[in-house]
Every structure is written in structure tokens, then in C-alpha cells.
Structure 1
């Protein structure tokens, strides 16, 4: 074919389906899944291609993969050309605009001399780590690089229960919960290069993770986060079980909204296992 569905997120073609412009010219052909791999259908020897009348034109945007491609049908003779052109469009041409926009922003923020040096000093994986941080959360590193405020100390009961919960989730391999908790408190699921000692606040300066006393909160409350300053206000919980349940309820609701009114009284019903 000479065109591609831009709405697909991977290299695939759509055969006879109600939401595409593709159609089959033979009712005797065996059924084909709506989304199939180009390698499976085009490069295999399952059936003749011409009766399928493939043009893979999506309902939104039609892109000619080769000059005049919108008028060409995929055949045995040109199927490899189609697959190569489709993959080139998916992996390079279709991404050119976003990549150029990203480069424009990067060059506006980072001096060209620094970028030139970085090309020789950093591998792509290292650049990724600098920009995006790490998914792996080290609970001990987190605790070592945390300060307390508002009258709390490392030995305060609420603080101890907080770290007991974090250590329990870490011991269970629940990185997803640790990431959710970090996102609830800081706005990010990732840890910067260098660990928690390198957390930054809203102004770009370093700001250690902070546990503060929630003087405005009751023992039944969820914790309150101040993501811009990496701070979590802890209520005066009455037991470890209550602390664990409320922390879990907070991260559950934090995935969609930050409004305790929507989950008031629901924390005890959350499975903390």
C-alpha cells in the first residue's frame, strides 16, 4: 500500500473492518483479524494479496509512503517495499516534528557548548536517566534523605508508622505503591539521578522530602501533600493499621484527584495487603 493509518501506535495494517476504508473483494477469503502484523500477512505465503484490495487508508489522515502511493495496491512484487516504507514512516518520518520540537526546547535551555560536550561524555541511556530519573525507589535512601517539620521528629509515632509502611511495601516488592506514594507527595514517580538527596522544589533548587505535622488534620484524615515543596502533612493517626490504610487510600485516590471529600470514610475499606 501507499498509505498508512496515523492513528495506530505501532506498525500494523487494518483489513476489512467497519471503521476503515479498507475492504475485501472476496467473500470466500478466510477471516483476517482486524489488526495484524505486516510480517504475518504481507511477507508470508498465506494467500494472494491482490484480492484483498489493501490500501490501509485510515479514517483521519492518509499518508503516501511513496510517491503516488495512494493509487498503488500492495502486491507480491511490492510488498517488501511497502513494509520498509511503512516502518520508515512509523519510526522516523512521523516522529520528525516532535523530535525537532524537543530539540528546539533543549537547545533553548542548554548552551550549545554543553550539548556538544555531552555528546562525547554521555551515552543515550545516561541522558535518559538525567532527564527522566529512575523508577527504582530505594526506601532506605528515601528515609536517609528526609527531614521533619512542624514539631515532628524521626521518632514521632506518625513518622515511624510512615516508614514502616514504606519498608513493608519495599519488602513486598511493591514498587508501584512506592511510586504512587512518591507521586502523591512530589508530583513525580521517579527519583532523580543521585537519589533522594537531589529532589528539587518548584523553584528548581534542592528540597529534601519533608514529613510535617498536619495540625489541620484529624486522626481520620488522609495525608495532605504539597508537591511543589516535596512535603507530606501527616495526621495524628491512632494506630499503624490506620496509618497504612490512609496512606494506601491517599495514593489510590491520588491517581485521579486530590479531594478527601470524595473518599472520606473509605480508607478503612481499602485492602492494605
Structure 2
């Protein structure tokens, strides 16, 4: 623990069974292999619904979305030089996915498909002139557009030059740590791979961000732990080392998250709710602990909502710290203050403060300091927790109908071409896990924005819909080829459905993690 680059092959020592699929790992299996398997199983539990979204299940919530398919076989949508312009110039009805609390609940949520409201201004200048309070009380699409406009004011034009981040494939984290402080992250950043001729037009930056995130939250780094909740999310490990290297990694994490927000790159890692609320500067309440540690939530919820005698619970105002092997007093003289009905609310509040702030303060401070250097705290405070999560993560499912309706074709391909029909038939039969892997192969990202595939972008905020381009089929290179910078897939003209299915599955089953520059 304490070195994000080392991979010690710790063994399980005893047989372990996956709590999700019951697969048994022998005692001589790698602990990392076991942990990754459990994490993947949890992801599949969320992402296994039918790809056509008739019923999408997220936790205990079932989503029944409406589809508004574009049946035009030869669409010719308008495109604009900047992602914001569409919100003002394109008056066509648009929809977005919205993450909302269930009525009467402070915990459970669902995804609804909502009609985007009209902008409260006719152009960018009028929109920027609207007061902060009015925007704060607006619907999410209006709030997000204003938020994006404010960030664009901080962007340094690519015409003033770009920053270059040179990384080594074998040690991309360490080489990034050596360079990140020298880069102006409000500029366009191009990732350069040492010894590689691949040029970055946006796709490598997305891949780099995903790989850095994966490296930092890896169990061997010791920086994060899986949160004990229904969703697959991560919380800061309060027992992590506080040496300079780990603090530097948390600063880098703030840079990555800030740059992803700035460039509209969905993250492939969920943070627990307490981190989200720290980012936007909101207090943390008991219901937020539901997404931090379910057992703690249930215990504390019982204390504040039930009657008990002091003799029934032998608890004092202290917390045991494993790493230091001592007790931390939640308040002065806490080791002599016993928990009772009169002070149980105070006890729970102090516990929440300890677990979600005091115990992780050096890591949280490092993370937020660099995040706020890219995205000002005042701007982030505009958002509610679920709204920030919508911006950070996009949607946790892939809508095949939306993907198909927002796809362009080049070369010999058109919507009703036989190979294209086979292509979509095969994708319709995939589960969400494999669709996510294929989306990553094509775009460098595992998720789409809440506005769906119509909001896919290349670098510099330009609209860049998913595009399938025809290339001749050759036995020497029969596989599809992805240009992630432009969201473009070169798909050979296959002669049979079996051929295209075989080669699509081959690229999906390939482990692409850590492979920069697929194009």
C-alpha cells in the first residue's frame, strides 16, 4: 500500500467465493484477480438489462423509457462548429436522461427521459447575462448550458498553442505525475506516447483519463475502497498512507476529474455520495451514508429513529483507528461519554464528520485543490448532487435506438445497407456489459452524455456523431478499426452475417485496457 505503480502478487491464502456469481477462487489465486472479478460482477449486475431499454434496472429501480426514433433512412442532420450553438440554433424537440429521486425518498432514484426545456435566452450573450440565482433554480439542461458557457470563458484557444503530455506506456502514471504540474489544463492537451507515431485529436486524452482513474482506484494503490452499497462506487480509504507520493496521486486525480468535466468526458468510475457533496460544497447527511457504507447507515438510522436504554448499547464517543491502533475522541472527553437517547443524534453527526471528512482530510484537500484550479468551486456549487453525477458519469446504460438514430455513414454504407443491418442486429443482441466495451473501442469512453449519442464530440467541443465508414474486406486485416478521436468506425464490407459477428466479438473480447492509440 502506498505505491500506485507496484503490483505485489498477494495470494488469497484461503478459498474465496464471489458473492455475486458464486465462482470459487482457490487459495493460491491472486487477491487482485479476485477483487477485479467481484468488481466486474457488480458492474454486470447493473449493466445487464436488455439493450433495447424496454426495462433498465439500476439498483432496485426499473426504468421504462420512451423511444422517439428517427425513421428517416438517410438523415442529414445539421452540425455546428461548437457544442453550445445547438442549444440555441436547433429548435427541434430534444430529450435527455435525468437522474431523479423517487417521490418521498431521500435515497432511491430512477432515470427518466425528459423533454429539454427551451433556453431562457435567444443567444449566448443573453444567456451569460442571466443571474446566478435564476440559473440555480432552473431545470438541469438550462443549468448545464450556463455552466458550460462559464467554463468556455476560461478555455484558452487552441490557436494559442496546445500543451503536450508525454507518457510512457509502461509507466503512464509515473510519467504523468512528473509532468502534470507543468501543464496549463485550460489549454488543449494532446497526449503523446513515447515511441509512437499516433497523433492525438481527442481520443487519446479520453483513454489516458480512463487509465489514470483505473490505476488510482486499483486496490493495490491503497487510495480507494469499494463502498459497501448497492451501486459500484468508491470511497477514499481513510487508512491510506499519507506520504508525498499518495498525496501527489490525489492531486493528479483532481486534475483528471477537473479536465474530464472541462472537456465533457464521462468518467468510468463512480465516487460515493460524500465525495460528490464535498465537490459542490454541500453538507453531508445520514442519507448520504447509504452510498458510503450500508451497514453504518443502517446502524445509525436505527439509533436516531428508535428508542433504547443506555444499558442496551455500550458505545462511547470514540472511533477505533486500525492503522494507529488507538481511539479517536469524537469530542473532548469522548471516551467517558456514553451513548444514550439524548445524545445519539450528536453522536451520529460526529461520526459522519469523522468518516467522511476528518479521517480523509489530507487526501480530500489535495484532490479538491487541483480540481478547483480547473473548475471553480463557485461554479460547481450551482449543481445538486444528482446533477453533478449526471455531468460526471453520463448514463449507466446504452440505448441502441438512440445510437442507431444518431449514426452517420460514409463510403458505400447507408442506413439500409445489408452489412449495416447485420451490424445493428448483432449489437441489439448484446448485453450492456459488451455494449459498453464496444463503445469504448469506438469512442474511447464507456458512457454517453445524458443527452445521448447526439452529443458525442471530438476535441474542441465540435459535434462528432458516431460514424461508420466502409472499407474493403481483406483476409490480411479483417477486423474493424476504431478512430476514437473522431468517434469513427472503419467497418469492412463483410459477405455474411457470421463474418461480421465473428470479428465484432473478437474486438470486444480483446482486453483493450492500457492499449493507447487503437487507431
- Give the TM-score, by structure 2 length: 0.34
Question: Compared with structure 1, are the counterparts of its residues 160 and 100 closer, same or farther at alpha carbon in structure 2 (3 Å cutoff)?
Answer: same
Deviations 1:50-74 (A, max 9, x none): xxxx9955559999565899xx89x
- 8 A Cα contact 2:427 2:435, kept in partner: yes
In the alignment, does 2:459 pair up with 1:202?
Answer: yes
Q: Partner of 1:136 in structure 2?
A: 397
Distance 1:254 1:208, change over 3 A: farther
Instruction: State which of 362, 367, 385 in structure 2 corresponds to 1:124.
Output: 385
Q: Larger strand proportion, structure 1 or 2?
A: 2
Are 2:420 and 1:159 aligned?
Answer: yes
**Which of 508, 515, 519 is matched with 1:251 structurally?**
508
Q: For 1:107, which of 376, 379, 402 is the aligned residue? A: 376
Deviations 1:74-114 (A, max 9, x none): x999xx89986554333223163224433332119xxx5xx
Q: For the structure 1 residues 61 and 213, does the alpha-carbon distance in structure 2 shift closer, same or farther, using more than 3 Å as the test? A: farther
Give the drift of 1:188: 1.1
Q: 1:147 to 1:92 in 2, by over 3 A?
A: same
**1:22 — aligned with what?**
none
Once residues 145 and 213 of structure 1 are traced to their aligned partners in structure 2, the CA distance between those partners, rounded to angstroms, is: 17
- SS of equivalent to 2:421: helix
Residue of 141, 147, 150 corresponding to 2:408: 147
What displacement does 1:186 show? Answer: 0.5
Q: Give the distance between the partners of 2:326 and 2:370, measured in 1 at CA.
A: 23
Report Cα offsets for 1:183-223 as digits up to 9, x if no partner: 11001111112211110013321101010123485486221
> Does the CA contact (< 8 Å) of 2:478 and 2:492 recur in 1?
yes
Point out where structure 2 has 5 or more consecutive residues left out of the alignment: 1-221, 229-294, 304-313
Given candidates 190, 196, 202, the residue that maps to 2:447 is 190
**Residue pairs, 1:56-75, within 5 angstroms:** 58=322
Task: Describe the superposition over 1:210-244 as per-residue Cα deviations: whole angstroms up to 9, x where unpaired.
Answer: 10123485486221111110011112323212212
1:154-181 deviations in Å (ceiling 9; x for gaps): 2333222211112222xxxx11122111
Is the 1:7–1:58 contact (alpha carbons within 8 Å) kept by the matching residues of 2? Answer: no
SS state of the match for residue 162, structure 1? Answer: helix
2:489 paired residue among 232, 238, 242: 232
SS of structure 2 residue aligned to 1:179? helix
CA contact (8 A) 1:186 1:227 kept: yes
User: What is the count of residue pairs matched by the alignment?
Assistant: 217
Structure 1: gaps of 5 or more residues: 12-35, 44-48, 260-273
SS of 2:499's partner is helix
Report the RMSD for the aligned CA atoms in angstroms.
4.5
Q: In structure 2, what is the equivalent of residue 89 of structure 1? A: 354
The offset of 1:129, in angstroms, is 1.4
User: 2:80 matched to which residue of 1?
Assistant: none
- Identify the structure with bigger relative contact order (alpha carbons < 8 Å, sequence gap 6+): 2
Aligned residues of 1:137 and 1:179 also touching (Cα < 8 A): yes
SS in 2 for 1:158: helix
